[in-house]
Structure 1
Amino acid sequence: MTPDFGSYPSASPSLSIVCYSINLFDAMGWHFRGALLLLANGLIFASTIVFTMGFFRPLAPSSARRATVDRSVPSRSAPFERVVFLMIDALRSDFVYSPQSQFKFTQELIRSGAAIPFTMKTGSPSLTRACIKAMTVGSPSMFLDVFHNADDGPGTPETTDTWLAQLKAAERGKLVFYGDDTWVQLFPEVFDRGCPISPLFVPDIHSPDLNVSTNAIKELQRDDWSALVLHFPGIDHVGHMGGADSEFMASKQRQMDAIIKEIWKALESGAHLNSTFFVVGGDHGMDRWGGHGGASDPEVSAAMMFISPQFKLLNRTYESPAVPTGGAFDYYTVIRQVDVVPTMAGLLGVPIPSASIGVFVHELLDLWSDIKDQANLVLENLDHLRALSCKSDTGMDVCQTDLDRHHLPQEPLNEKSLAELSMVTNPMSKEFQNALENATSGNIQVSVLRYGIAIALIALLLAWATCKSILSLNWDFLVLNLFQLGHSLALLFPYLVETEHHFWFWSSTIWMGWLVFTTSCHSSVVSPGRLTPVVLHLLSQRWNPHDRSSSEEVYSIQGLLDRRPLCLWLLIAVTLLHTYTFAAQRRRNVTRDAEDNPLLGLAHRAVLLVIFVFKFASAAQIRPGLIARAPEWLQGIILEQLPLTRIAQFVFLSLAIGLGYVVLRSYAREASLKNEKATEPLPLLEILNLYLIMQTIPANIPLLLIYRLQLEWLVSCAVHLSPFQVCFSIVLFTNSAFFAFGNANTIAALRYTEGFNGLQAHHWLLSPVHTFCSNYAGPIWWSGNGLRLLVATGQGKRSSSSGFFEHLGLRTVFVAYGLLGAMGACYLQREETVVLTVMAPKFLNTVLWTVPFHLLFNMGMPIVLWAVVQL
């Protein structure tokens, strides 16, 4: 049946074509539309891959061992022969330098002058892998490292030069490593012995650190090594579990401070360590929630200290604890992360790694008593940067500055001429560094981006062709295009990208209000209670704070419940009880033998109780303050004796058994239900809902109750909704739920807490799946449960395959339109400074929406439900 074109003139050529197309699709049936839809989704996947390859393609830095320079650099002495390089993951600057810090011994070292402190600014993305490369290779961070950072396999080895490789080539001793295995993945041939450990199992905040510290003490008694590299992941794990203000943060800081004290004592007392200096620093910082990966100040501000008994001879003293000198996290002198590389090379007397774009930290020049050595260090660094800038593979065709001798002070050097030298060379070095950082940070292939955009456009047109409701010039056509064009235009403004939640909150609220208004028009009774869905929607938007860049506490419902945990757990209990009450009520309505199987109801209640116990006990282990008033024997049971891994495994096994039962039961009863009223996919959806509750952090579980109440109201008025309005509602509420759950267009917003439920170690498949479902629990809930709207309109029946494929086509159109808008915004802003800090995280988020979420939950899950049960 062709739609009614109303008052549009039938003689219009464009409308005639539309009518002809619709009649053609009616004649070919849903098989043809299904083939087109499959092709469209395949092209969406292909366009995502193509655009990603062009957008995140790295440009390899110069591979030259050392650049040839006009001026020969005289040999210079080095103050040290070996190093203990201690990296404390996510050691934010204020964790060490502020008055609230528990690094008391370390602050004593700073006050005595034995430690020279800095605040080190990392690049973006502020992830461990990228930061390790910056501090060893000296190359700037590239967003491509995001795709390798969570790799638990062999990783992608780095073949570029490092100060570790230079030290190994000097043959002064073995290179030893203990800690995060990212180092071994990056440099598999560098270290001679050690014990790399996987840091990806976030819930373990103690074992990795104990392993590293135990081996470190043993290695300090040996004298056959030239570099001892230690990487402690504990503080990072504490942040991911409970945030920067976690109850475990103070004790973990004291533990790290004690390790620094042990190493310091060994340096003071061990004769074989006389020529050893000690480096303590973080790879990156963290925000209030413990996340990192973005470019906000707390994420990129890490502590960095150079420590040695010899530093006391410089007669320097520093105030410690200190107050920030600039920004909220800027203590003492601020340096770049890549500056560590030439500094390490200079202190150890090895050549500067070939790809380094760092500048020697001038505060350490006084370690050389000979002024000529100091001058040679500065000039060698400058010559290296100049030679790098002349390399064709850095993207700079000509040298930018002429280092003719008349620009520099002449011999003989003295303190005055050295100061003059620094005044000339330091700005020049920074100029080279900035140019090299821009040239080597990445190479966007414009032609590949265009191919990706073209493929996405074809996918959009193919998906559009499968949808009858938007082929004609009607209100659905106008709403779709105006909405998507508005969203695409918003992506052209970096501020709106960083605060994208406002777009989805406002649009979904307006749409909810419109639905309430139109429903009221169909009803003879108008009451204030009809505004309840809008009020609930506004409440969900205030559930989580969304200003991640602010260090100030932002008002939110979650913050209110954090101060009143009893209210939170009452809401969680109500959510679970409502799940059971709703399921029981629906079973009585849609099945004949619900009461003949009382064991099903008992099993359901048992699983709900186990889920509640698991969520409470796991939350108490992260925040023991939740049970501070409970008897000690009960605290001991909750914190120490409850086998949380086994409990989670029991829940997942129960859900799997329930899933199998529902599928088999559906097939067994299919023949008897052919002539009966179609049922909803309720049992499968309830199993999905229980899994999502398991994968949702406790503070967000009540949001699922709000969504269920909203959905019940929508279902009650779904008879007035068109297929387009049903799909548009689901699209708006899935995206709104993503941000309402506390997510954002930044890597730092990614949560790991629930990603290891039921696991005792990181699993290559289950951990990413659990983590993804945890972060996308809200959108997955709406994508699955929103299908009840389709059922209520009568479009979800098995006999109505055309309506079902209309729904799938519309979902694909929205995804393809959004992907095309994100690609266009990235393409137009490819030369702007925000391309890596703002647009790259946004496109990565779009990739997650387009590939795993869309293919699995927009398309795969509805098809499975439609095939298994009668929709």
Structure 2
Amino acid sequence: MPRVQSFLLVVANLLIPVALLVFATGFFPYKPFMPGLATYEKLGWEEKMGWSKAPEPKFDRLVFMVVDALRSDFVFGEESGMDFVQSLIRSGSAIPFTAHATSPTITMPRVKAMTTGSIPSFLDVILNFAESDTSSTLSTQDTWLAQLKAMEGGKLVMYGDDTWLKLFPSFFEREDGTSSFFVSDFTEVDNNVTRHVPAELLNSDWNAMIMHYLGLDHIGHKTGPKGPNMIPKQKEMDGIVRQIFEAIENEDHLSNTLFVLCGDHGMNEGGNHGGSAPGETSPALVFMSPKIKKITEFLNRESPVEPLQEFDYYKKIEQSDIAPTLAGLLGFPIPRNNLGVFIEDFLYFWDDGYDRIHLLLQNAMQMRKIVKANFPNQKWLHETEEVLCKEDMSSGEELACRWQKAGQMMSTFASVHPQMRVDYLYAFCRAAQEIMSSTASNYDVPRLVLGTFLAILSLSLTVITLFPKFKSITATGFSYALTLVLYGVLMFASSYVEEEHHFWYWTTSAWFFYLFISSSREKWFSKFIFHPAIMLLFLHRIARRWNQTGQKYAGAPDIVHSPMLRGPNSIVLWSLIGATYMDIAIRLAKHVSRSIAEYDKKTGEVEDNDANRFIGTLAVLPLGATAFVFKLAFTAQDAPELVQGINEGMLAWVGQLSLVDLARMVFGGIALSGSWIAFAEWKRSRGRKEGKGNGDLAVALFDLTAIFLVTQTKSQNIPLYLIFRMQIFFLTLLDLSPTAITLTTLLLSQSSFFILGNSNAISSIDLSNSYNGISGYNVGLVGILLFLSNWAGPVYFSLAGILLLGQHGKLRRNINVSEMDSRDWVAQERQHLEHLAKKEDEGAERRNGWGAWRDHIALLTLFTAGGVGAVMAACTALRTHLFIWTVFSPKFLYAMAWGVAFHFGVSVGLGSVFWWAGSW
């Protein structure tokens, strides 16, 4: 029977990633597009309107400058550092807009929207992080780059974010790409672009130059929108704008150049992006040229200005409107998959009203093809027939009605004012844009159903594996089942998904209160204030107040942003950080001391002494000190507001150190210490009798992992590990069953994820520690560090749960901060093992070996399969929901990370290593 259970558990675990993959292929398909390049076609009204050719273009050259994460207030606000751009707005040489960037606000889908005019697939969120991916190329799609390249003598040059090189392979005459993910670099990544600008401004062989600057986005990820480096970076970008604009004014070959400055997306108050917060969806957009004064001569725009609404400055347009506007201004056909609308301000470059109609009619005819392809069964009546419009029309009927009204206006007598025709064409185009942009994705429903079924099958197999445990119903088992059911139900509510942290906070608190009630009858727990469960509740309350997260209260006061840890009081923060590193270093010193002590094979005791402890302290001190100095140097460069209370001389010294070298020294010290301790324990294990292992290696590996996780955590969150450590200490004082340990591990893993400031929004992903010890972009290493830095809390408690579970087997009990001599613990452990050896029932076997580990993994698999299944069922049922792309789709991506990277990689993979190490 145990073998059958183990086999079913393996199959259940393998089904989870398969289910996620199948579901993802149906939920995130590439949207279909019409291949080939658009060409000018007859519109049907040429003879009536007297059109012989398309309106003359107003520009013959384009400079397209993207500043990554250029939020609207960075250009138009009172505190902006872009004075020159603001002067161009005031003088009439620039027209400003706030461009609405739809979710997901990630670089790749935003570049796709700007170049094709279409709405990208949400799958681009995943592909955006795969630096080597080429499956998302736009080489076969119609874009304004392809149209410019197809023109006579068309040549493109590109410098900056290599996302463009991935999207447009072999498009550019000259190119120099930079990695968009090396967020530790604020300067070189931009200098590598700027160094090409002077020479290219003197060249006349290109008709489009694209630049994509990354430094401002990197500053945002590191220090937020109000960081000390933000205004200097804005001034630097403003200087580049000045250099290019003055060249346009002075160089003859640039006299007909259109200069576009824009952001691909914005950023939230944490400096991140990916979601749908106003700051993330509101990048700046500015069209600049001396020729623009022709259409702004009667306008007196002020700059800077106050926003009309949050981050809404001047007129707000869709980011997809860039593509058809460039097509009209530069004289090429509108890309075939475009859903953008020509920006009305630029119509007045053409004095003839019929030229304006011609431009807009091209836009409307192109969008009509897309509408007809999406509504193939809609009866599109001839333009001259009577319009059959009614109330409560479907989307297709509404667009048919608007098109016919526009067609009737185009076919009426020439005495109709051109502006009336323009108004009707705009009415159709904007309605088509709104309806087609919100049309549900082409989901593969059978795949959605199959993926959900596979998750349910995994759940069922796990239930079969655990069936023997269901013979008796316990309060712990009921609590576990209730947690799983409530979690699954809440996944169907968007507001609960956004505020999921509250569920875990309250569920964890309720569980700790139950532990108090269930164990309060024990004699030595009679005093309420000293009860371990009460202390767990108290510590949990502090931890959950450390960071505000979610959507509704993201900006509410918390401990991290309080004056007690910032400014002159930052010395308090660094005292706590130092205490955290010191606590880990003291425990590591004990492990090193034990590794060099003599071992008695007969008694199983370690003959430790003061000399060994002194040597152990000397051996570990450099590792702890280096880790602390690295964190101080890292914070001094990236968040100087957190080190204001530190001695200036010390800050000047650490400022000269290499962050990459320091991080490598820390990681190298961890690896060296782990290798030494593992080698020492291996040598001892060769002389031990079976059953003599005390699990010290597993505890040592846990402490080494702890110092690594602390290094991968934001400085302001490091003191939380002192709280986490104390929580583990109080848990060891409670006599928890294996099932209770698993449930506690699950609750603390989930709640610690949110306690560290994470949420279910893509914008909460922190990139700041993803390059520790890495001097360049490496997708594998960066991906691992990215995951471990964002899931540091869950990893910590997942591995701590293995040690807690080991108290019922062969692991050493001393995982708390106790000063009791290790020999006493060894003697107690031997007695404990002898006691277990006398029990021959199945329950004792399960607690003392593979059975306990199998049940632990089975319970974690049960929750993972159930949770993943609930998320997929919610996404399937609510696939037409208004928040499917802003709430449920990001939650599914997080479910993938929890199901594959955390459950498979940490709970099962790394957890197995710890369980095996506990047998030494």
Structure 1 residue 376 corresponds to structure 2 residue 377: no
Q: CA deviation at 1:446?
A: 1.1
Structure 1 residue 317 corresponds to structure 2 residue 300: yes
Q: Which residue identity lines up with residue 59 of structure 1 in the other structure? A: K
Q: In structure 1, how many angstroms separate the alpha carbons of the residues matched to 2:883 and 2:377? A: 20
What corresponds to 1:269 in structure 2? 250
Conservation of the 8 A alpha-carbon contact between 2:142 and 2:337: yes
Conservation of the 8 A alpha-carbon contact between 1:139 and 1:338: yes
Over 3 Å counting, the alpha-carbon distance change for 1:740 and 1:395 in structure 2 is: farther
What corresponds to 1:538 in structure 2? 541
Q: In structure 1, how many angstroms separate the alpha carbons of the residues matched to 2:675 and 2:731? A: 30
- Give CA deviations for 1:615-640 in whole Å, capped at 9, x if unaligned: 0011001133455576765443222x
Conservation of the 8 A alpha-carbon contact between 2:802 and 2:911: yes
Q: Which residue identity lines up with residue 526 of structure 1 in the other structure? A: K
Q: Which of residues 8, 29, 38 is equivalent to 1:36?
A: 8
Structure 1 residue 616 corresponds to structure 2 residue 632: yes
Q: In structure 2, how many angstroms separate the alpha carbons of the residues matched to 1:100 and 1:678? A: 62
Q: CA deviation at 1:383?
A: 1.1
Q: Which residue identity lines up with residue 733 of structure 2 in the other structure? A: S
What corresponds to 1:51 in structure 2? 23
Over 3 Å counting, the alpha-carbon distance change for 1:859 and 1:627 in structure 2 is: closer
- Give CA deviations for 1:7-65 in whole Å, capped at 9, x if unaligned: xxxxxxxxxxxxxxxxxx3xxx3x43322211111011111111111111122222364
What corresponds to 1:21 in structure 2? none
What corresponds to 1:803 in structure 2? 852
SS of residue paired to 1:119: strand
Structure 1 residue 385 corresponds to structure 2 residue 401: no
Matches within 5 A, 1:634-645: 634-639=650-655, 641-645=656-660
Conservation of the 8 A alpha-carbon contact between 1:123 and 1:141: no
When structure 1 is superposed on structure 2, of 780-789 and 791-800 the one drifting more is 791-800
Conservation of the 8 A alpha-carbon contact between 1:61 and 1:393: no
Q: In structure 1, how many angstroms separate the alpha carbons of the residues matched to 2:744 and 2:409? A: 68
Q: Which residue identity lines up with residue 579 of structure 1 in the other structure? A: I
When structure 1 is superposed on structure 2, of 671-680 and 488-497 the one drifting more is 671-680
Conservation of the 8 A alpha-carbon contact between 1:795 and 1:803: no
Q: In structure 2, how many angstroms separate the alpha carbons of the residues matched to 1:824 and 1:765? A: 31
Q: In structure 2, how many angstroms separate the alpha carbons of the residues matched to 1:365 and 1:625? A: 48
Over 3 Å counting, the alpha-carbon distance change for 1:235 and 1:543 in structure 2 is: same
What corresponds to 1:562 in structure 2? 566
Structure 1 residue 529 corresponds to structure 2 residue 530: yes
What corresponds to 1:860 in structure 2? 909
Q: In structure 2, how many angstroms separate the alpha carbons of the residues matched to 1:62 and 1:472? A: 60
- Give CA deviations for 1:343-380 in whole Å, capped at 9, x if unaligned: 01111010000111101110111111222111111111
Q: In structure 2, how many angstroms separate the alpha carbons of the residues matched to 1:541 and 1:479? A: 21
Over 3 Å counting, the alpha-carbon distance change for 1:168 and 1:413 in structure 2 is: farther
Q: In structure 1, how many angstroms separate the alpha carbons of the residues matched to 2:890 and 2:544? A: 22
Conservation of the 8 A alpha-carbon contact between 2:546 and 2:558: no
What corresponds to 2:34 in structure 1? 62
Q: In structure 1, how many angstroms separate the alpha carbons of the residues matched to 2:172 and 2:78? A: 38
Q: Which of residues 147, 171, 180 is equivalent to 1:166?
A: 147
Conservation of the 8 A alpha-carbon contact between 2:499 and 2:552: no
Q: In structure 1, how many angstroms separate the alpha carbons of the residues matched to 2:69 and 2:661? A: 31
SS of residue paired to 2:713: coil
What corresponds to 1:504 in structure 2? 504
Q: In structure 2, how many angstroms separate the alpha carbons of the residues matched to 1:539 and 1:171? A: 67
Conservation of the 8 A alpha-carbon contact between 1:726 and 1:789: yes
What corresponds to 2:578 in structure 1? 573
- Give CA deviations for 1:765-792 in whole Å, capped at 9, x if unaligned: 1111111100000000000112222122
Conservation of the 8 A alpha-carbon contact between 1:666 and 1:868: no
SS of residue paired to 2:748: helix
Q: CA deviation at 1:802?
A: 1.2
Structure 1 residue 514 corresponds to structure 2 residue 487: no
Q: CA deviation at 1:759?
A: 1.0
Conservation of the 8 A alpha-carbon contact between 2:364 and 2:425: yes
Conservation of the 8 A alpha-carbon contact between 1:98 and 1:323: yes
Q: Which of residues 708, 713, 727 is equivalent to 1:691?
A: 708
What corresponds to 1:602 in structure 2? 618
Q: In structure 2, how many angstroms separate the alpha carbons of the residues matched to 1:602 and 1:551? A: 44
Conservation of the 8 A alpha-carbon contact between 2:500 and 2:550: no
SS of residue paired to 2:703: helix
SS of residue paired to 2:632: helix
Q: Which residue identity lines up with residue 696 of structure 1 in the other structure? A: T
Conservation of the 8 A alpha-carbon contact between 2:566 and 2:641: no
Give ranges in structure 1 of 5+ residues lacking alignment: 1-24
Conservation of the 8 A alpha-carbon contact between 1:460 and 1:817: yes
What corresponds to 2:729 in structure 1? 712
Conservation of the 8 A alpha-carbon contact between 1:122 and 1:283: yes
Q: In structure 2, how many angstroms separate the alpha carbons of the residues matched to 1:418 and 1:578? A: 78
Q: Which residue identity lines up with residue 97 of structure 1 in the other structure? A: F
Structure 1 residue 743 corresponds to structure 2 residue 758: yes
Q: CA deviation at 1:69?
A: 6.7
When structure 1 is superposed on structure 2, of 199-208 and 663-672 the one drifting more is 663-672
Q: CA deviation at 1:302?
A: 0.3
Q: CA deviation at 1:387?
A: 1.4
Q: In structure 1, how many angstroms separate the alpha carbons of the residues matched to 2:646 and 2:545? A: 31
Q: Which residue identity lines up with residue 43 of structure 1 in the other structure? A: L
What corresponds to 2:782 in structure 1? 767
Over 3 Å counting, the alpha-carbon distance change for 1:46 and 1:663 in structure 2 is: same
SS of residue paired to 2:286: strand
Over 3 Å counting, the alpha-carbon distance change for 1:594 and 1:427 in structure 2 is: farther
Over 3 Å counting, the alpha-carbon distance change for 1:630 and 1:744 in structure 2 is: closer
SS of residue paired to 2:779: coil
SS of residue paired to 1:297: coil
Percentage of pairs with the same residue: 33
SS of residue paired to 1:277: strand
Conservation of the 8 A alpha-carbon contact between 2:222 and 2:639: no
Q: Which residue identity lines up with residue 582 of structure 2 in the other structure? A: L
Q: Which residue identity lines up with residue 533 of structure 1 in the other structure? A: L
Over 3 Å counting, the alpha-carbon distance change for 1:702 and 1:380 in structure 2 is: same
Conservation of the 8 A alpha-carbon contact between 2:543 and 2:755: yes
Conservation of the 8 A alpha-carbon contact between 1:201 and 1:756: yes
- Give CA deviations for 1:272-292 in whole Å, capped at 9, x if unaligned: 111111100100000111110
Conservation of the 8 A alpha-carbon contact between 2:357 and 2:418: yes
Q: CA deviation at 1:419?
A: 2.6
Q: Which residue identity lines up with residue 699 of structure 1 in the other structure? A: Q
What corresponds to 1:199 in structure 2? 180
When structure 1 is superposed on structure 2, of 784-793 and 614-623 the one drifting more is 784-793
Over 3 Å counting, the alpha-carbon distance change for 1:777 and 1:812 in structure 2 is: same
Over 3 Å counting, the alpha-carbon distance change for 1:107 and 1:395 in structure 2 is: farther
What corresponds to 1:131 in structure 2? 110
SS of residue paired to 2:31: coil
Over 3 Å counting, the alpha-carbon distance change for 1:724 and 1:393 in structure 2 is: farther
What corresponds to 1:71 in structure 2? 44
Q: In structure 1, how many angstroms separate the alpha carbons of the residues matched to 2:680 and 2:6? A: 28
Over 3 Å counting, the alpha-carbon distance change for 1:746 and 1:126 in structure 2 is: same
Over 3 Å counting, the alpha-carbon distance change for 1:63 and 1:613 in structure 2 is: same
What corresponds to 2:313 in structure 1? 331
Q: In structure 2, how many angstroms separate the alpha carbons of the residues matched to 1:701 and 1:615? A: 10
What corresponds to 1:426 in structure 2? 426
SS of residue paired to 1:324: coil
Q: CA deviation at 1:753?
A: 0.9
Over 3 Å counting, the alpha-carbon distance change for 1:587 and 1:730 in structure 2 is: farther
Q: In structure 1, how many angstroms separate the alpha carbons of the residues matched to 2:728 and 2:429? A: 61
Q: In structure 1, how many angstroms separate the alpha carbons of the residues matched to 2:523 and 2:142? A: 74
Q: Which of residues 778, 782, 786 is equivalent to 2:797?
A: 782
Over 3 Å counting, the alpha-carbon distance change for 1:119 and 1:453 in structure 2 is: same
Conservation of the 8 A alpha-carbon contact between 1:296 and 1:549: no
Q: In structure 2, how many angstroms separate the alpha carbons of the residues matched to 1:526 and 1:107? A: 68
Q: Which residue identity lines up with residue 424 of structure 2 in the other structure? A: V
Q: In structure 1, how many angstroms separate the alpha carbons of the residues matched to 2:322 and 2:420? A: 24
Could you say what the CA RMSD is over the residues aligned between the two structures, in angstroms?
A: 2.4
Structure 1 residue 177 corresponds to structure 2 residue 150: no
Give ranges in structure 2 of 5+ residues lacking alignment: 381-395, 595-603, 812-832, 834-846
Matches within 5 A, 1:588-599: 592-595=606-609, 597-598=612-613, 599=615
